[in-house]
């Protein structure tokens, strides 16, 4: 007698022991494998829609970070070789689209055109005096040059008061205040710096002055931060450079001439005093101050002059700008010719 055929088992009671092989059809549904097992099968299946959303979110975050970095970048000028300094300065003023980073120039086209249109207003710069560093005149030349650069920075921000408060932060240890003397209010006023625009911080130690400078840069409420220090180590210079770039605020350090150069600087200036220009109305009085300036480092442009020479620059109190000192009339400081003839 034939045995009756077994009744079919409902499909709901069936259970697959092994996972099915991924087919092209299943891939089209939108499944992707994450961390496959030893047999090559995927223990988890994640819908493609969620993965696409995650990738889109990641790309959007990367675009935001790149735009934030490019917002603090300086515009790169592509200028022809035959372009005059005045044309270069005009193009630089038009290309500065960021209101927070204004053109910070010295006022002399012969120098500014070799600095990519001016000093980087979001970087670290160093000023050093010449000589042994023990004389007060070596420090006076570097400090005078730095203060005039600060005045140029404040004048550049003056037409745009809403962009950034024109505040100058001056930090130094108390040992310099005792040796060189504290800033004199009437002297700063005669230079063109208002006392209300200057904030002086005197610390007991050099690391405290460095900390105050870094915090002043990060506050984004300063037009310029100046530090008078014996020297700046590589790590401290790097921190100041990053803080200046992040806040789009320039940082100027005046260091001992005998100390080694600081790292992470965009420019480094060597400054010495020179005899002032003759007064226009009084021959016995001193005229415009002059400095012998040598640009030892320039990361964003060509060197101004040879490293072994210097350029005499003259400061104008009326226009608040530097200019290359004109040649001395009748070679007053040159060798005198003898009045006796050969015959």
Q: What is the CATH number of the domain that holds 285?
A: 3.40.50.300
For residue 245, pLDDT over 80 is answered with yes
**Alpha-carbon separation of residue 56 from 33, 47, 342 (angstroms):** 19, 15, 91
31, part of any domain: no
Instruction: Say whether pLDDT at 328 is over 70.
Output: no
List the beta bridge partners of residue 203.
173
For residue 130, name the pLDDT band (cuts at 50, 70, 90): confident
CB 118 within 8 A of CB 259: no
Give CA torsion, residues 261, 263, 268, 273, to 10 deg: -30
**What pLDDT does residue 95 have?**
42
The residue range of the domain holding 312 is 99-327
CA distance 316 to 132: 28
With respect to residue 61, please indicate whether it lies within any of the assigned structural domains.
no
Question: Residue 284: pLDDT above 60?
Answer: yes
Distance CA 324, CA 293 (A): 10
Report the C-alpha gap between 268 and 296 in whole angstroms.
6
Q: Output the average pLDDT for the chain.
A: 76
Would 137 be classed as within a structural domain?
A: yes
pTM score, whole prediction: 0.65
DSSP letter (8 states) at residue 286: B
Any domain includes 168: yes
Return the residue matching tokens 């915090």. 215
Q: Which residue has the higher pLDDT, 173 or 179?
A: 173
pLDDT, tens digit (0-9, with 9 covering 90-100), for 296-315? 998 876 554 444 467 899 99
Q: Please determine, for residue 233, whether its predicted confidence score (pLDDT) is greater than 80.
A: yes
Q: In this structure, is residue 49 part of a structural domain?
A: no
Instruction: Tell me if 155 is assigned to some domain.
Output: yes
The helix (run of H) or strand (run of E) holding residue 190 is: helix 185-191
Q: Does a structural domain hold residue 46?
A: no
Tell me if 236 is assigned to some domain.
yes
Contact between 104 and 164 under an 8 Å Cβ cutoff? The reply is no
User: Rounded CA gap, 248 and 223, in Å?
Assistant: 9
Query: What's residue 117's pLDDT?
Result: 81
- In the chain, the percentage of residues whose pLDDT exceeds 90 is 36
**3-state class of 229 per DSSP?**
coil
Q: How many folded domains does the chain comprise? A: 1
């Amino acid at each position: 007698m034939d045995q009756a055929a077994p009744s079919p088992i409902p499909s709901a009671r069936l259970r697959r022991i092994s996972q099915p092989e991924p087919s092209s059809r299943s891939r089209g549904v939108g499944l992707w494998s994450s961390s496959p097992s030893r047999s090559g099968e995927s223990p988890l299946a994640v819908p493609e829609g969620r993965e696409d959303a995650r990738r889109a979110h990641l790309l959007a975050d990367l675009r935001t970070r790149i735009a934030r970095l490019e917002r603090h970048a300086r515009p790169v000028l592509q200028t022809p070789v035959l372009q005059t300094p005045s044309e270069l300065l005009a193009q630089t003023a038009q290309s500065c689209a960021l209101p927070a980073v204004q053109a910070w120039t010295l006022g002399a086209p012969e120098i500014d055109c070799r600095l990519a249109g001016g000093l980087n207003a979001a970087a670290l710069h160093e000023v050093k005096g010449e000589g042994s560093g023990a004389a007060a005149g070596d420090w006076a030349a570097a400090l005078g040059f730095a203060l005039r650069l600060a005045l140029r920075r404040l004048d550049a921000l003056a037409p745009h008061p809403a962009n950034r408060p024109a505040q100058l932060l001056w930090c130094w240890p108390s040992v310099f205040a005792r040796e060189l003397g504290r800033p004199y209010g009437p002297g700063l006023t005669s230079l063109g710096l208002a006392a209300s625009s200057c904030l002086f911080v005197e610390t007991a130690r050099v690391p405290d002055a460095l900390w105050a400078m870094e915090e002043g840069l990060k506050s984004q409420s300063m037009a310029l931060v100046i530090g008078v220090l014996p020297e700046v180590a590589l790590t401290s210079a790097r921190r100041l450079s990053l803080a200046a770039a992040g806040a789009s605020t320039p940082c100027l350090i005046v260091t001992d001439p005998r100390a080694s150069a600081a790292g992470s600087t965009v420019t480094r200036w060597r400054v010495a005093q020179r005899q002032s220009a003759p007064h226009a109305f009084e021959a016995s009085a001193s005229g415009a101050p002059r400095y012998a300036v040598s640009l030892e480092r320039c990361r964003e442009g060509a060197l101004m002059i040879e490293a072994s020479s210097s350029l005499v620059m003259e400061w104008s109190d009326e226009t608040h700008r530097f200019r290359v000192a004109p040649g001395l009339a009748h070679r007053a400081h040159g060798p005198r010719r003898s009045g006796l003839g050969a015959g």
